[in-house]
Amino acid sequence: MARIVVIGAGMGAMACAARLAVAGHRVTVYERDETYGGAVRRFERDGFAFDTGPGLLPLPAVYRDLFLKTGKEPLEDLVELVQVDPAARHVFADGTRVDLPNASRAGVVAALDGTLGAGAGQRWGDFLVRAREAWDRTRRPLLEEPLWPNWRVLADREPYPSVPHKKLLRTRRASTLAEVGAWELRDERLQELLSSHALAYGLDARTAPASAAVLPYMEHAFGTWYVRGGMRELARAVYERCVRRRVEFVFGAEVTRVVEKDGRAAGVELADGSAVEADTVVAGVDPVLLGSLTDRALDGEGDVASGHAPSDAARFTVLLALRGAREEGAPHRTVVHSPEDQAELDFLTSPGGDLPPRPTVTVFRPGDPALRPDDAHESAVLCATVPVDGGWEDPEKVAHATELMLDAASAAIPDLRERLLWHEVVTPDRTGAVPAPSLAAGGGRFLHPANSTRLPGLYRVGGWSHPGGGLPHAGMSGALVAGLVVEGPEFRGST
């Protein structure tokens, strides 16, 4: 039995802790805040409750697997998973609206054909078939295995089988997601749809590799799920599973240093000056912070981390307390596309000092009785992808962005302004940057640092490490790190 210290109680770290405890190790999690779940937070006031982190769960299989491997009770016995249908309503910049059914390719094709004109659905459907090929080619090596030492193979090879595009005498193949949209979808609304899938993960379709096609594919193939009672319920279930497996949690305990002894990680120091010895340290925090906790470089020449920029994309969130009941048939999620999509992406990638343009706003209306005081009220969450350093310390800018979000959300919530009791803004400086999932191709710019580090006994877990951010990906990183700790560097992913 090894003594294992885990830094942070985020979803990736807890997923790892539960697996390590089941493997027979003594695991203690040190979390600087007073609660578990990291970004998966809840805000409550006057009987209203809101998820301030992710609003939906893609790829629930990752958490099903976690609960299966760490105990007898399956995930479905501990939380109520609901498939969201329609998966989303899209309100495009030209005002066209379409409801896309959940996890039904035929249904999506029919809905798009019916709204955008014959042929549009088929083009999207054909795109999804190609996206599936990219998924099949990358799922195992990229997501379900520790980062390959020869990761350049993943970085240089584009797995998306783009359609040859003839222009004048040249034949080209799409290398970015925006090119896939322009050359293969050939409809502005379909391009907005494609781009919004990337943006939801903090990515700019103009620079994201074509392999980002796996993001809409994941949603269409595996569905979009909500956890009844709010997404925070998933964090609670993972935390409780950890506790049942005798993982110890110490809250209000900030780790200030990773202690090194005889060339390997040997424990941590805490902000109160105390030290904790350990055989292994697992860090579920961002790489910049982790770098500051150690005295040596954790990555060497040729590792992904060297020269790899952490994500600058964050979320601007507005929580709405509304009087009046949610109308019958209102979708759980509506994406209101930006009329200034290029300006939005410019702001995301080079924020400068200007006011933000009208962003693409995702409106979550869960219609969950647990999140409202009574049936005569509704809680809703508005979310936009923005740069983390967008000047959010300026109250005028925050107020302006909030107004833009409310304007956009009026297309999703009838009589929004009249119904609004109060709102609460959660700015990016409170939640920090949000890492995107790892993607193949793009020269390695969309990969994350390996779970193993150059300091033996120190591992990275969670959204800032391989295979990247988002609930499922962080959960996968938990499985990979547990495998590496238990089976050693030869571990090649579970079968």
Ligand X SMILES: Cc1cc2nc3c(=O)[nH]c(=O)nc-3n(C[C@H](O)[C@H](O)[C@H](O)COP(=O)(O)OP(=O)(O)OC[C@H]3O[C@@H](n4cnc5c(N)ncnc54)[C@H](O)[C@@H]3O)c2cc1C
Measured between alpha carbons, how far is 298 from 306 in angstroms, rounded to an integer? 10
- Counting contacts by CB under 6 A, is residue 287 touching ligand X? no
Is 8 among the residues that bind ligand X (CB under 6 A)? Answer: yes
List the one residue from 230, 462, 467, 483 that touches ligand X (CB under 6 A). Answer: 462
Pick from 121, 146, 229, 284: which binds ligand X (CB under 6 A)?
Answer: 284
Measured from the CB of residue 464, what is the shortest distance to ligand X in angstroms? 6
Supply the minimum distance, in Å, between the C-beta of residue 169 and ligand X: 43
Minimum Å distance from CB 191 to ligand X? Answer: 21
Single residue of 6, 7, 234, 440 touching ligand X by CB under 6 A: 7
CA proximity to 120, closest of 190, 169, 68: 190
Residue 254 binds ligand X (CB under 6 A): yes
Is the Cα torsion angle 228, 230, 235, 240 positive or negative in sign? negative
- Residue 457 engages ligand X in binding (rule: CB under 6 A): no
Complex with ligand X: residue 179 or 201, whichever CB lies closer = 201
* CA quadruple 348, 354, 356, 358: dihedral sign: negative
Q: Does 9 sit near ligand X (CB under 6 A)?
A: yes
- Amino acid type, 278: A
Residue 398 or 474: which CB sits closer to ligand X? 474
Residue 257 CB, shortest distance to ligand X, in Å, is 9
Dihedrals phi, psi of 406, to nearest 5 degrees: -65, -40
Crossing angle of the two packed helices 105-116 and 120-138, in degrees rounded to 10: 140
Taking the C-alpha atoms of residue 25 and residue 57, their distance in angstroms, rounded to an integer, is: 29
Residues forming beta bridges with residue 384, ordered by sequence position: 316
Q: Is 17 in the site for ligand X (CB under 6 A)?
A: no
- The smaller minimum CB distance to ligand X, of residues 89 and 315, is found at 315
CB of 62 to ligand X, least distance (A): 11
Q: Please, what is the minimum distance in Å from the beta carbon of residue 220 to ligand X? A: 16
* Site for ligand X contains 267 (CB under 6 A): no
Binding flags for ligand X, 290-329, as an x/- string (CB under 6 A): -------------------------x-x------------
Considering the rule CB under 6 A, would residue 366 count as an interface residue with ligand X?
Answer: no
CB atoms within 10 A of CB 295: 9
Contact with ligand X (CB under 6 A) among 112, 174, 177, 255: 255
The answer to whether residue 331 forms part of the interface with ligand X (CB under 6 A) is no
Give the helix/strand (H/E) hosting 380.
strand 377-387
CB of 380 to ligand X, least distance (A): 15
Considering only 120, 194, 213, 434, the residue that binds ligand X (CB under 6 A) is 434
Task: Give the count of residues interacting with ligand X (CB under 6 A).
Answer: 33
Smallest CA-to-CA distance from 123 within 197, 194, 212 is with 194
In the complex, least distance from residue 83 CB atom to ligand X, rounded to whole angstroms: 16
In the complex, the smallest distance separating the C-beta of residue 37 from ligand X, rounded to whole angstroms, is: 7
Among the listed residues 469, 479, 480, 483, the single contact to ligand X using CB under 6 A: 469
Which residue has tokens 């959660």? 426
Whole-number Å distance between alpha carbons of 268 and 278? 8
Three-state DSSP state, 394? coil
Instruction: Map residues 20-59 to x or -, x wherever contact with ligand X holds by CB under 6 A.
Output: ----------xxxx----xxx------------xxx----
Q: Quote the CA–CA distance of 92 and 96 in Å, as a whole number.
A: 5
Q: Does 341 bind ligand X (CB under 6 A)?
A: no
Q: Is 471 in the site for ligand X (CB under 6 A)?
A: yes
What are the distances in angstroms from CA 477 to CA 144, 200, 204, 314, 469? 8, 20, 24, 21, 9
Residue among 317, 232, 320 at smallest CA distance from 51: 232
Contact between 440 and 142 under an 8 Å Cβ cutoff? The reply is yes
Quote the least distance from Cβ 162 to ligand X, whole Å: 26
The beta strands (E) that lie in 367-411 are given as 377-387
Minimum distance of ligand X from residue 81's CB (angstroms): 15
Contact between 474 and ligand X per CB under 6 A: yes
DSSP 49: E
Question: If binding is defined by CB under 6 A, does position 61 make contact with ligand X?
Answer: no
Do 338 and 328 touch, CB atoms closer than 8 A? no
In 3D, which of 410, 81, 380 has the Cα closest to residue 233?
81
Does 431 bind ligand X (CB under 6 A)? Our answer is: yes
Q: Please, which residues bridge with residue 476 across strands? A: none
Binning the chain into helix, strand and coil, the percentages to the nearest 5 are 35, 25, 40
Residues lying near ligand X in the complex (CB under 6 A): 7-13, 30-33, 38-40, 53-55, 254-255, 284-285, 289, 315, 317, 431, 434, 462-464, 469-471, 474
